[in-house]
Amino acid sequence: TLTVTGSINIDHVIRLPQFPRPGETLTGNDYRIVPGGKGANQAVAAARAGAVTQLVACVGEDPMAASLVAGFAADGINTSAIDTVAGVNTGVALIQVNDTGENTIALAAGANAALTPERLQSHASALHCKQLLLQLEIPLETNLAAARLARAEGARVVLNPAPAQALPAELLALVDLITPNETEAERLTGVAVNDEAGAAAAARALHQQGIATVIITLGARGVWLSEQGHGRRIPGFAVKAVDTTAAGDTFNGALVAALQRGQALEPAVRFAQAAAALSVTRPGAQTSVPYRAEIEALLEQ
Ligand code: ADP
């Protein structure tokens, strides 16, 4: 199994001509409620990319939670380790997008904060997996506990260190493969990633923390792939971007799915970049995540 431990959010997305100032009320021109949360997005991406996937996560008691979980099951995800937490709401992201495509995001962790190390223990069997994929929208101690449990069972631990934050050496030492974007790589290492030299230096700093494989995603420019002592850029796919929400999540889910079926790192990166490129041509988070057949069709073009 490929196990994803992480967040589930309900994204409320409102499009406005510009952001309201403090105290101001502005009417937007479009509003949508879409399933999101990095854990959920990455699990959906892995499942649609063809991997047998389990999601360890929490939702609240609100009416939307059941339909979210039913959606994951419809994608073929094992939902048996998704807990419903009494007395809280499912995680929420209030997203404003302005006419130039910038966004502001206000998050409420809700049930995601209830995914504690103790709760994780009750799902320990889910961590007997081949690969564990983590992000940073659940408590840090839970990620540490998950990485320890999975590592002890011989799993590969993959960390997408998003949203950007500095991390303890203790967690980084448990990671086999890390996938920061440019901002996240700079936050982790203090090295600005503005060009390939910066990416190489940031990757070296992460190798020094004990991480064998570093993939820094560079948006439309592709990725910097670095294995101990050897780094190179792998370009992405040229597409017309309409909404880059969840590009990183799609990349991560598809990457681990390809690795899960035994692909080597470089072809797995190409598969993941094809998946992410397809996702940026479509609006929304989980709504934009492609399926394996579409990804393979793009790769064969
Ligand atoms: P994040 O969404 O986490 O900030 P990136 O912006 O680096 O991550 O995007 C992740 C991956 O998605 C990139 O490495 C690339 O393969 C793909 N991608 C992102 N933006 C584009 C784009 N405009 N065109 C093609 N591929 C893209």
Residue 218 CB–ligand 1 contact under 6 Å: yes
**DSSP label at residue 138:** S
Residue with CA closest to ligand 1 atom 10: 248
List the chain pLDDT tens, one digit each, 301 residues. 999 999 999 999 999 999 999 999 999 999 999 999 999 999 999 999 999 999 999 999 999 999 999 999 999 999 999 999 999 999 999 999 888 878 899 999 999 999 999 999 999 999 999 999 999 999 999 999 999 999 999 999 999 999 999 999 999 999 999 999 999 999 999 999 999 999 999 999 999 999 999 999 999 999 999 997 799 999 999 999 888 888 999 999 999 999 999 999 999 999 999 999 999 998 878 888 999 999 999 999 8
Residue 222 CB–ligand 1 contact under 6 Å: yes
Residue 199 CB–ligand 1 contact under 6 Å: no
What are the residue ranges spanned by the domains of the chain? 2-7+39-63+113-300
Active site members: 249
What is the pTM (predicted TM-score) of this model?
Answer: 0.96
Residue 290 CB–ligand 1 contact under 6 Å: no
Distance 277 CA to ligand 1 centre (A): 7
Residue with CA closest to ligand 1 atom 19: 219
Residue with CA closest to ligand 1 atom 9: 219
**H-helix segments, the chain:** 38-48, 63-74, 117-121, 140-152, 169-172, 182-189, 196-208, 247-260, 265-280, 292-300
**Complex-level ipTM:** 0.98
Tell me which H or E stretch contains 209: none
Which CATH superfamily, name and number, covers 2-7+39-63+113-300? Ribokinase (3.40.1190.20)
